[in-house]
């Protein structure tokens, strides 16, 4: 075999070993009880991100691509994060709630009257 082929085999073997190790780490982390839920979620997403990077960079050969590919991937990740956290923003009223969304023909699903109190009485 040529020297170039041996180099690729060594890289693929190391990526395979890394993926096996990270998969074991994922399984081990699933048995750990975290006091704060988001720490467990963040750890799982971090492990998945590293595994996805290893696969994309080596098996999809993205490590040899031009910088435009990385810009496209960064924009994709940014949009994913916005879509991922959008329900959280809605839940905390950082965005308009669904009752403010216009429906068919410009009608509003629920009118908000600022002059009424919680019982529906006007001042």
Residue listed under structure tokens 């998945």: 48
Q: Does the predicted TM-score (pTM) go above 0.75?
A: no
Cα–Cα distance measured from residue 71 to residue 115, given in angstroms and rounded to the nearest whole number:
49
pLDDT attached to residue 17: 96
* Cα–Cα nearest to 85, from 38, 34, 26: 38
> pLDDT of 24-71, one tens digit each?
999 999 999 989 888 988 999 999 999 999 998 888 877 777 778 778
Give the three-state DSSP class for 101: coil
Helices (H) and strands (E) counted in the chain, each on its own, are: 3, 0
């Amino acid at each position: 075999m040529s020297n170039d082929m041996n180099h690729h085999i060594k890289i693929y073997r190391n990526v395979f070993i890394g993926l096996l190790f990270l998969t074991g780490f994922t399984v081990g982390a699933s048995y750990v009880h975290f006091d704060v839920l988001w720490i467990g979620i963040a750890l799982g997403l971090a492990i998945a991100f590293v595994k996805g990077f290893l696969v994309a960079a080596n098996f999809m050969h993205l490590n040899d691509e031009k910088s435009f590919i990385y810009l496209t991937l960064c924009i994709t990740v940014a949009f994913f994060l916005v879509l991922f956290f959008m329900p959280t923003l809605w839940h905390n009223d950082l965005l308009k709630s669904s009752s403010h969304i216009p429906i068919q023909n410009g009608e509003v699903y629920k009118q908000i009257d600022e002059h009424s109190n919680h019982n529906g009485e006007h001042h």
